[in-house]
Copies of this chain bind each other. A is one copy, B any other.
Amino acid sequence: MATRTDASTRREQILKEAARLFAERGFHGVGVDEIGAAVGISGPGLYRHFPGKDAMLAELLVGISGQLLTGGRRRVAEAGAGAAGGPGAVLDSLIEGHIDFALDDRPLITLHDRELDRLRDSDRKLVRQLQRQYVELWVEVVRDVHPELAEPPARAAVHAVFGLLNSTPHLSRPKLPGRTATAALLHAMARGAFASAAEAAAKA
């Protein structure tokens, strides 16, 4: 029989392909037949693994939001505990983690801020809550590094930097510099953006 890891493969395979298709053509733009075809089964076979199309999107979005949040918390705990490098190191770790995610799971990042409104109310509330906690985590760290920033502009700045970091899906692959170069570029830009936000706030 299939091993434990093989048994979960089919579900994960479906989720992965669904994420790609949803990101490419939008939730309403892809049919269940296409998702099935992408994993080699056809149409209603998916209903052996998921109660419906909505459930796939919900599981994807909840998974992404949760992963981002727990990963961020882990990094804050780790980088904060050592206290080597000061609060700046914590922010660097957060940025690095988000960049890794944006570069490695591009379809998921795309879905994350594009298809939230297609969820059932309860799922949407959950995802929103996870997202909000993730933002608050960032806001605290950013204000630790830049105490001149009041909370509302800090929150706006965090959202803006998310926009910056999540811009990678818009770039056509071949024109990009290498992955590490891109990551370094985005990292520098994020830090610079925060620094300038703090400067502007201090001046005003």
Q: Which residues of A come within 8 Å of B, CB atoms?
A: 24-29, 113-115, 117-118, 152-153, 155-157, 159-167, 170-171, 175-177, 181-182, 184-186, 188-197, 199-201, 204
Contacts and interface: CB of A to CB of B under 8 A. Distances in A.
Contact of A188 (B113, B162, B200): B200
Contact of A156 (B118, B171, B191, B197): B171
A195 B191 CA distance: 11
Contacts of A200: 184-185, 188
B189 A197 contact: yes
A24 B117 contact: yes
A185 B117 CA distance: 28
Point out which of A155, A159, A166 has the most chain B C-beta atoms below 10 A from its C-beta: A159
